[in-house]
Homo-oligomer: A and B are copies of this chain.
Amino acid sequence: MSGKEIEKLTKIISKLPSLGTRSSRRIVLQLLKKRETLFLPLIEALQEVAANVKTCEICGNYDTVSPCSICASEKRENNLLCVVQDVADLWAMERVSFFKGKYHVLGGVLSALDGIAPEDLNIESLLCRIKKDDIKEVILALPATVDGQITSHYLVSRLKDMDVKVTTLAQGIPMGAELDYMDEGTLQLALNSRKLL
């Protein structure tokens, strides 16, 4: 391959999630081929995001303004808070456009293996917010993994003495799933939490 600039770019692109050296090379070639329609617009869009997007000081979302448009919105319920692990999860919730409260991004979950302790997460700011904004309900929408569940338990213990309802997302069989393909844990859980029709 020729040109150290091209090699450097290929190396950086291959560090992005879901990309390796081969797909990175294909991307660089595609960019060079479509200079006007793809390459220059990409650089411009990246620069705009790098220059304008910041972390919301209240919830941790990414937006061009801080407080972000969700935190600043007057159409959203002020006393309903959904706690998520990451901005990706916040975006996933927003795509459903069903939830009308506000969010709080933890920035991770507790993990003994990765050495993530409560002080590494945005927990203090969550507690402050609950007091200050008079939050009535906190929905814990953390991942259904062991670490996610441990974090949920920890948060429940921290919120116990506060005057706030703490709920979590329902667990069970996902929509459209075949029972045959579900793991035993999910089946057992769905059976335990069965509902009266």
Contact = CB atoms under 8 A, between A and B. Distances in A.
Interface of A: 1-3, 5-6, 8-9, 12-13, 15-19, 23, 25-32, 35, 38-43, 45-50, 52-53, 61-64, 68-70, 86-88, 91, 94-95
22 contacts: A1-B95, A2-B61, A2-B62, A2-B94, A3-B69, A8-B45, A12-B42, A16-B31, A16-B38, A17-B26, A18-B26, A18-B27, A19-B19, A19-B27, A25-B91, A28-B49, A31-B46, A39-B50, A40-B50, A42-B46, A43-B46, A43-B47
Given A2-B61, A63-B3, A45 B9 contact: yes
Given A2-B61, A3-B52, 10 more contacts: A3-B63, A16-B30, A17-B27, A19-B19, A28-B49, A31-B46, A32-B49, A32-B53, A32-B87, A40-B50
Contacts of A29: 62, 86-88
A42 B25 contact: no
A139 B172 CA distance: 61
A50 to B, nearest CB: 6
B30 A17 contact: yes
A53 B90 CA distance: 39
Contacts of A32: 49, 53, 62, 87
Contacts of A30: 16-17
Contacts of A53: 3, 5-6, 32
Nearest to A8: B45
Interface centre among A1, A16, A40, A62 (most CB of B within 10 A): A16
B26 A38 contact: no
